[in-house]
Amino acid sequence: MRVTDAMLYDLVSRNGQAAKSRLDQATAQESSGSRVVHPGDDPGAAGLIVTGQMNASTLDTIATTAGRAADELQTTDGALSAVADGVSRARQLAVQLSTSTYSASDRAAAASEVQGILASAVASLNAKVGNRYVLGGFQDGAPPFDAAGNYAGDQGVRQVEIAPGVYQAANVNAAVAVKGANGGVDILATLSALATALQSNDVSGVQATIDQLAQGTSQLATARGQAGAAMSTLDAAVTANQAARDTATKTVSGLADVDAIAAATNLAQAQYALQASLTATAQSFNLTLVNKL
Amino acid sequence: MADLIQILNNAASSLAAARGAAATASNNVQNANTPGYSRQVAVIEANLPADQVGDVYLGQGASLVQVTQARDRFLEAQLPAAFAQSAGSSAASSTLQAVSALDPQAQGGIGDALSGFYDALRQLSQNPSDPSLRQAAVGSAQTLALSFNSTASAVESARTGADAKITADVSQVNQLASTVASLNGQIRAARAGGGQPNDLLDARQSALDQLAQLTGGAPVTTNQGDASVFLAGGAPLVVGTTANALSAAADPANGGHVAVTLSVGGATSAVSPGGEIGGLLSARDGALKTAGAGLDQLAFDLAGQLNAVHQAGFGLPPANATGNALFSVGATAAGAATQIAVNPALTADPSLLATAAAANQSGSGANVLSMVATGTQPLSTGLDASGALAQVTSAFGSAAQGIAAAAEQDASLTGQLTTMRESTSGVSIDDELIAMQKAQTAYQAIAKVIQTSSDMLDTLLQLT
């Protein structure tokens, strides 16, 4: 084949450009750590990266949200625990002061203590997380219990997503747990009745509250049990979603990130190829009759 | 004595031939780097008829008969199509490669914004009355809308950029077509005078090569030696000494993007050029248009689905706003990604965000969860939002990858053909220096012949 000078220059130019292009690509991959920058780099992976990143983000948010719901339930459980302690103390007083051993003044003093327990219970049940009253159901913008123990909330049960499309109840229904809706005991009303009976030295009235307070304690224990189970579910959801997020992130990384060793090797190869190309170019330019005649 | 004078005459002719050979080699060297130049060859032949002296024929030296071009018509016939194919795929590939708005890992892309929006809704569902979460949800909806706007705008900008390049190319094509038509006339005139206008032929070939690259126009050589150029479908761009004009004008039927037309004798018709213009048209109305339409459909479907859920829900009491759309979007999918925006009423007052499924339920996130559920519900394409976006991304990526591979292959084929043409028609400095050396040696030898003949004549004259 007849070789002309222009062919030599074209060849050098093409090969040099190709070597520089490969070096540029290898450098970009090595420095960015990413092998799929443009969708055309790997169309299949590009689509999977989009869905994978969204999936990882979804799982991360579900974990965060479930964690917050668990924290709220922790607050709710603390409130119910405080109320349960108060109810237990109130029942102890009711049992103690329902005997003839105690005087009217003793019962009046106990009445004050029960009033305090009631006030404390109301304060506990009006617990807030952020700006929301956690025991108000869907009516979370105002204190659900007034000083007399009346309930202004509703029986709304908030749902939290614990996996894509899977939901978990994330609040305690105070109407049932505290106010005894659906056939239970109105704990706050019972405390109020106990205080009134003690104040009026009404022994039979005091005795009438003992079983109700015991039932109330059981009612609160049930509610706390439900809250505990929900917290456990939410905590498990946090762990599971974080693990799933890590897997999804790893999958995306596997699709999008360069193999560091391969990238370094490619970079070294590209550098050597360019050096060889430049050396060959310099030598070939000297081989002309112009330099010999 | 007559023979000796004949020798001198013959030597003069041969000396001129050697000088012509040297001049041709010299011209070749001087044009070694001239684009489109084809190596010229000095054709030297023995002078005929030979001089008969008795029974013997004595030669009469040599003459420069003509200076031809070294060309391979077979190769040159293949080059226009190869140039057109390569320029087309290269232009299409560059156009698609320049679009970064659909990069899968781009920060602030639609994927990011879509994730951010649904993440904000999920967080809001856990505490729907929280004003900061409501604000964040509305903000993420705005980010999503803006992301659709900017991505659609980037795709549309790439299409508009292709329009600008097509318009510039059309102008260049018209200039080249006029050049070819003019050169046809000049070549015709030169040949009528009996010469071979090599430099004019080179100039025309160079213009034809560029026309092939820009339009895919195939040159057809007529019996008169004219080169006519026809576009795909036989549309005549250049016929003999007449150049017809291409135009690029906005086409309302294609969103105002330019269409290419050819005016022949006052009649204008649409044409579909190949080459670079064809590649630009293909990228603009192929992968880019498809990606834009995919984004429009996704924006339209998503907005429609979310609006339906949002309109059924209720905002915070006491207003308990209901029936509000979350996004404003056009009545059809066309242009939806460009138009989509968050309902300004919600932007101004996030408490209107319909988070509850019933009135007076500030703590209920039931409607937010319904909105969250739209993220996994199938859209009109049969895919959910992330799937639809992944499909748009992958489809665009496949088109970009395919055309990039084609561009590489086409460039390789064109490079191969160009190399082969160069091998035949290109100038080798070494070859030409050798030719110069050869011509110089011949010139010196012929000069010696003249010297010797002169000496012989002197000898003869001294005898008389």
Nearest CB to B362 within list A34, A39, A138: A138
Q: At what angle do helices B73-97 and B131-192 cross, to 10 degrees?
A: 160
Q: Is A215 found in the same domain as A173?
A: yes
| Residue at A42 is within a domain | no
- Residue B464 confidence (pLDDT): 63
Beta bridge partners of A34: A257
Instruction: Domain count for chain A, please give it.
Output: 2
Is-contact B144 B150, C-beta < 8 A? Answer: no
Nearest-Cα distance to chain A for B144, in Å, is 13
- Residue B1 confidence (pLDDT): 57
Contact criterion met (CB < 8 Å) for B404 and A60: no
Contact criterion met (CB < 8 Å) for A5 and B389: no
- Residue A84 confidence (pLDDT): 96
Contacts of A50 in chain B (CB under 8 A): 104, 111, 386, 389-390, 393
Contact criterion met (CB < 8 Å) for B394 and A40: no
Q: Is A126 found in the same domain as A106?
A: yes
Q: Is A152 found in the same domain as A134?
A: yes
> What's the rounded mean pLDDT across residues A42-48?
93
Mean pLDDT of chain A: 91
- Residue A266 confidence (pLDDT): 84
| Residue at A3 is within a domain | no
A 80-119 → B contacts, CB under 8 A: none
Q: Is A284 found in the same domain as A144?
A: no
**Tens digits of residue pLDDT in B38-93:** 999 999 999 887 677 778 877 888 999 989 999 888 888 899 999 999 999 999 99
Q: Is A201 found in the same domain as A69?
A: yes
| Residue at A162 is within a domain | yes
| Residue at A10 is within a domain | no
Of A18-27, B275-284, B328-337, least confident by mean pLDDT is A18-27
Q: Is A120 found in the same domain as A76?
A: yes
- Residue B90 confidence (pLDDT): 96
- Residue B6 confidence (pLDDT): 84
Three-state SS for chain B is CHHHHHHHHHHHHHHHHHHHHHHHHHHHHHCCCCCCCCCEEEEEEECCCCEEECCEEECCCEEEEEEEECCCHHHHHHHHHHHHHHHHHHHHHHHHHCCCCCCCCCCCCHHHHHHHHHHHHHHHHHCCCCHHHHHHHHHHHHHHHHHHHHHHHHHHHHHHHHHHHHHHHHHHHHHHHHHHHHHHHHHHHHHHCCCCCHHHHHHHHHHHHHHHHHHCCEEEECCCCCEEEECHHHCEEEECCEECEEEEEEEHHHCCEEEEEEEECCEEEECCCCHHHHHHHHHHHCHHHHHHHHHHHHHHHHHHHHHHHHHHCECCCCCCCECCCCEECCCCCCCHHHHCEECHHHHHCHHHCCCECCCCCCCCCHHHHHHHHHHHCCCCCCCCHHHHHHHHHHHHHHHHHHHHHHHHHHHHHHHHHHHHHHHHHCCCHHHHHHHHHHHHHHHHHHHHHHHHHHHHHHHHHHHC
Using CA coordinates, name the residue in chain B closest to A44. B394
| Residue at A187 is within a domain | yes
Residue B2 pLDDT class (50, 70, 90 cuts): low
- Residue B440 confidence (pLDDT): 94
**Tens digits of residue pLDDT in A166-224:** 999 999 999 999 999 989 999 999 999 999 999 999 999 999 999 999 999 999 999 99
Mutate to test the interface with A, among B38, B99, B103, B206 (most CBs of A within 10 A): B103
A 53-72 → B contacts, CB under 8 A: 53-55, 57-58, 60-62, 64-65, 68-69
Contact criterion met (CB < 8 Å) for B363 and A138: yes
Nearest-Cα distance to chain B for A171, in Å, is 10
Using CA coordinates, name the residue in chain B closest to A10. B419
Task: Say yes or no to pLDDT of B443 above 90.
Answer: yes
Nearest-Cα distance to chain B for A14, in Å, is 9
Q: Is A287 found in the same domain as A182?
A: no
**Tens digits of residue pLDDT in A123-147:** 999 999 988 999 999 999 999 999 9
Strand B236-239 relative to strand B242-243: parallel, antiparallel, unpaired?
Answer: antiparallel
- Residue A263 confidence (pLDDT): 81
| Residue at A158 is within a domain | yes
Contacts of A18 in chain B (CB under 8 A): none
**Tens digits of residue pLDDT in A247-257:** 999 999 999 88
Nearest-Cα distance to chain B for A269, in Å, is 21
Using CA coordinates, name the residue in chain A closest to B125. A160
Q: Is A195 found in the same domain as A56?
A: yes
Q: Is A111 found in the same domain as A128?
A: yes
Contact criterion met (CB < 8 Å) for A46 and B111: no
**Tens digits of residue pLDDT in B199-236:** 899 999 999 999 999 999 989 988 888 999 999 889 99
Q: Is A206 found in the same domain as A276?
A: no
> What's the rounded mean pLDDT across residues B6-20?
91
Q: Does A46 lie at the interface with B, CB-CB under 8 angstroms?
A: yes
Q: Is A122 found in the same domain as A216?
A: yes
The CB density around residue A26, as the number of other CB atoms within 10 Å, is 22
User: Distance between CA atoms of A194 and A90, rounded to whole angstroms?
Assistant: 8
Residue B164 pLDDT class (50, 70, 90 cuts): very high
- The CATH number of residue A148's host domain is 1.20.1330.10
Three-state SS for chain A is CCCCHHHHHHHHHHHHHHHHHHHHHHHHHHHHCECCCCHHHCHHHHHHHHHHHHHHHHHHHHHHHHHHHHHHHHHHHHHHHHHHHHHHHHHHHHHHHCCCCCCHHHHHHHHHHHHHHHHHHHHHHCCEECCEECCCCCCCCCCCECCCCCECCCCCCCEEEEECCEEEECCCCHHHHCCCCCCCCCHHHHHHHHHHHHHCCCHHHHHHHHHHHHHHHHHHHHHHHHHHHHHHHHHHHHHHHHHHHHHHHHHHHHHHECCHHHHHHHHHHHHHHHHHHHHHHHHHHHCCHHHCC
**Tens digits of residue pLDDT in B191-204:** 888 778 888 999 99
Nearest-Cα distance to chain B for A275, in Å, is 23
Mutate to test the interface with A, among B127, B403, B438 (most CBs of A within 10 A): B127
| Residue at A94 is within a domain | yes
Q: Is A165 found in the same domain as A66?
A: yes
Contacts of B398 in chain A (CB under 8 A): 40, 43
Chains A and B form CB pairs within 8 A to the count of 197
| Residue at A11 is within a domain | no
Lateral strand order in the sheet of B267-270: B245-251, B257-264, B267-270
Range of the domain at A156: 52-252
Of B100-109, B155-164, B262-271, B327-336, least confident by mean pLDDT is B100-109
Contact criterion met (CB < 8 Å) for B97 and A60: no
